[in-house]
A and B are shown apart, each in its own frame.
Chain A
Amino acid sequence: MRAIFKREMRSYFTSPIGYVVVIAFWLFVSMLFYMMFSSGAAQIGDIFGSAFSVVLILIPLLTMRSFSEERRQKTDQLYMTAPVRLTAVVLGKFFAALTVFAICLSITVVFMLIFCLYITPDWLVYLGNVVGMLLLGSCFIAVGIFISVLTESQIVSAIGSFSVALVLMLLDYVTSLVGIELLQKAAAWVSFSERYNSFTTGTFDWANVIFFLSLTAVFLFLSVRRLDRRRWA
């Protein structure tokens, strides 16, 4: 797993993709921070809340290559024929993407320090926000990795993940238009944004933590199964 992790990290930062994602994220949240800060109503939770859709758009860029490119270049033969478990391969790639994502989030520490100059910020609320963001990120990275296992083309992989992101973002709007109560309840239960936003408002609900963690596990597990299944195709 460590070998794969190291190689993935290297690959993120020898190609432009790692820098693009990190810098795009930093630019966006910094802009949010500046706007909110200058209007005098800055809350760290608000920044995290607004970053939701950006995260959903940037993560497919991190995961689109992971397995698709290996398949296309036939480098998958290396780890498929080496004495390693596929779980280790998937986890290595997962943690590498998560690390890049964590690097994206690191800029929020700077925001907190700037807050410190004026007020005493609530670090616990901040921590809750970061945990929420990491959970959302890991869940969506797992989804992205699963989609990249399915296809040989990075583009298809990216578009697939974008589509899922779009559905997740639109879910709340669509359900509010449909009047059926059961459907609304179901949508609210799946809704990433609803669950994520409860972190940003400072409530730490274990149900949400478990929701994201288990979804992550499910998609990573599916990726491993799907990779293994390829041998039989």
Chain B
Amino acid sequence: MIEVKNLVKDYGGHLAVKNASFTIRDGEIVGFLGPNGAGKSTTMNILTGYLSATSGSVSVDGYDIVEYPHEAKKRIGYLPELPPLYTDMTVGEYLNFCYDLKKVTLPRKPHLEEICRLVRIDNVYKRQIKNLSKGYRQRVGIAQALIGNPDVLILDEPTVGLDPVQIIEIRNLIAQLGKNHTVILSSHILSEIQAVCERIIIINKGVIVADGMASELSHSLSQDHSLTARIEGPKAEVMKLIASIRGVDTVTATGAKDGKALEYRILPLDGVDIRKALFDRLADRHWPLIALSSNELTLEEIFVRLASDENTEFVLKMQEKKEAEQNEADADQTETEENN
């Protein structure tokens, strides 16, 4: 549905987006995650044609946003960070204006009524936008994006500044919209993305540092699958016992103490769960297991790690290296072609 290739945005010497590429398939709900100033809004503004990229291309349903802006924009409903509301209009007037502006051909009244019901603003239809609360304004903004029933919805931080109840409402609404739209949603709050999105793209300093399903991300990116156990008992024997359990790779004492218990770090072989066996064997010997915890990172920790500056630089370097190799390969190919 949306294809982004090597997107670069240069704000007069400051690179807001560095060589971003990704593809979004039909019907996906994708979360765009990154700290403030990571380049989320810039990317979204380029996707919707508000800004132009310095280089790279964006196509929506096969239509390039620069070459066929009409066709591409028709397929996108966009809620910018600040909803573009004319506050001196009533909700009804505003939605009718958007309907006219987007030259929608669907029957006007039923279409607008359906949208208002969906985002639940029918009760404020005749009120001036400037008198509405932030939650309602946000919903009017979403209603605006829905006009014309576009295939793709791009929502830039839709829940910023809302109260917890409103956040949950908007979240449910997005989940509901995701059933028949492709949705791209940006946020700097992980839990929010986690709640609605199947796929997460993490961006920092304009670089895409991770892209994958939420569950995949937490497993594959936490390189540390080790366990930490606190056990009461003679150190040497305990270590020998643990080492004898099937599936244990290495065991080390960390040296930390918890009362009488000592702390051990156990690294199991890939994909083996040793927790039950560990418990049973220790119970046999009456060595109490005081605590057992996994060192696997939570999604939150992964996010912090991925969005760290070191990692961003690392990803960028890898990209450059890959590109250089690619160029070399290309050069080789043309050389051989020329020789032939």
A10 touches B98 (CB 8 A): no
Chain A residues whose C-beta falls within 8 Å of the C-beta of B97 in the assembled complex: 3, 6-7
A81 touches B50 (CB 8 A): yes
B101 touches A232 (CB 8 A): no
Chain A: which residue is nearest B51 at the CB level? A231
Q: How far is the CA of A114 from the CA of B78 in the complex (A)?
A: 55
The residues in A between 67 and 102 inclusive whose CB is less than 8 angstroms from any CB of B are: 73-84
A83 touches B78 (CB 8 A): no
Q: How far is the CA of A2 from the CA of B100 in the complex (A)?
A: 8
Stretch at the interface among B80-88, B177-185, B286-294: B80-88
B85 touches A75 (CB 8 A): yes
User: CB-CB contacts of A52-72 with B at 8 A, as 1s and 0s?
Assistant: 000000000000000000000
Chain B residues whose C-beta falls within 8 Å of the C-beta of A4 in the assembled complex: 101
A14 within 8 A of B: yes
Q: How far is the CA of A81 from the CA of B74 in the complex (A)?
A: 9
Given contacts A74-B84, A83-B73, A3 and B100 within 8 Å (CB-CB)? yes
Q: How far is the CA of A78 from the CA of B83 in the complex (A)?
A: 9
Most buried by B among A2, A14, A78: A78
Chain B: which residue is nearest A5 at the CB level? B100
Chain A residues whose C-beta falls within 8 Å of the C-beta of B144 in the assembled complex: 78
Q: How far is the CA of A232 from the CA of B11 in the complex (A)?
A: 9
A176 within 8 A of B: no
User: Which of B52, B71, B84 is the one whose CB lies under 8 Å from A78?
Assistant: B84
A77 touches B84 (CB 8 A): yes
A11 within 8 A of B: yes
B76 touches A84 (CB 8 A): no
Chain B residues whose C-beta falls within 8 Å of the C-beta of A7 in the assembled complex: 86, 89, 97
Q: How far is the CA of A222 from the CA of B183 in the complex (A)?
A: 36
A120 within 8 A of B: no
Chain A residues whose C-beta falls within 8 Å of the C-beta of B25 in the assembled complex: none
B246 within 8 A of A: no
Would you give the shortest CB distance from B137 to chain A, in whole angstroms? 12
B102 touches A82 (CB 8 A): yes
B3 within 8 A of A: no
B48 touches A81 (CB 8 A): yes
Chain B: which residue is nearest A92 at the CB level? B101
User: Which of A75, A81, A233 is the one whose CB lies under 8 Å from B78?
Assistant: A81
Question: Mostly helix, strand, loop or mixed at chain A's interface?
Answer: helix
B101 touches A80 (CB 8 A): no
Q: How far is the CA of A10 from the CA of B51 in the complex (A)?
A: 28
Would you give the shortest CB distance from A3 to chain B, in whole angstroms? 3
Chain A residues whose C-beta falls within 8 Å of the C-beta of B101 in the assembled complex: 3-4, 78-79, 82, 84
Chain B: which residue is nearest A7 at the CB level? B97
B70 within 8 A of A: yes
Most buried by B among A14, A77, A79, A231: A77
Q: How far is the CA of A77 from the CA of B49 in the complex (A)?
A: 9
A15 within 8 A of B: yes
B102 touches A75 (CB 8 A): no
Would you give the shortest CB distance from B49 to chain A, in whole angstroms? 6
Would you give the shortest CB distance from B16 to chain A, in whole angstroms? 12
The residues in A between 1 and 49 inclusive whose CB is less than 8 angstroms from any CB of B are: 2-4, 6-7, 10-11, 14-15
Would you give the shortest CB distance from A74 to chain B, in whole angstroms? 5
B93 within 8 A of A: yes
The residues in B between 146 and 199 inclusive whose CB is less than 8 angstroms from any CB of A are: none
User: Which of B12, B52, B103 is the one whose CB lies under 8 Å from A231?
Assistant: B52
A76 touches B84 (CB 8 A): yes
A77 touches B103 (CB 8 A): no
B234 within 8 A of A: no
27 contacts between A and B (CB under 8 A): A3-B97, A3-B100, A3-B101, A4-B101, A7-B89, A7-B97, A10-B93, A14-B88, A73-B84, A74-B80, A75-B85, A75-B86, A76-B84, A77-B78, A77-B80, A78-B101, A79-B101, A80-B49, A81-B50, A81-B73, A82-B98, A82-B102, A83-B69, A83-B70, A83-B71, A84-B103, A233-B12
The 8 closest A-B pairs by CB, nearest first: A3-B100, A78-B84, A231-B52, A75-B84, A3-B101, A83-B73, A81-B48, A77-B84
Chain A contacts to B: CB under 8 angstroms: 2-4, 6-7, 10-11, 14-15, 73-84, 231-233
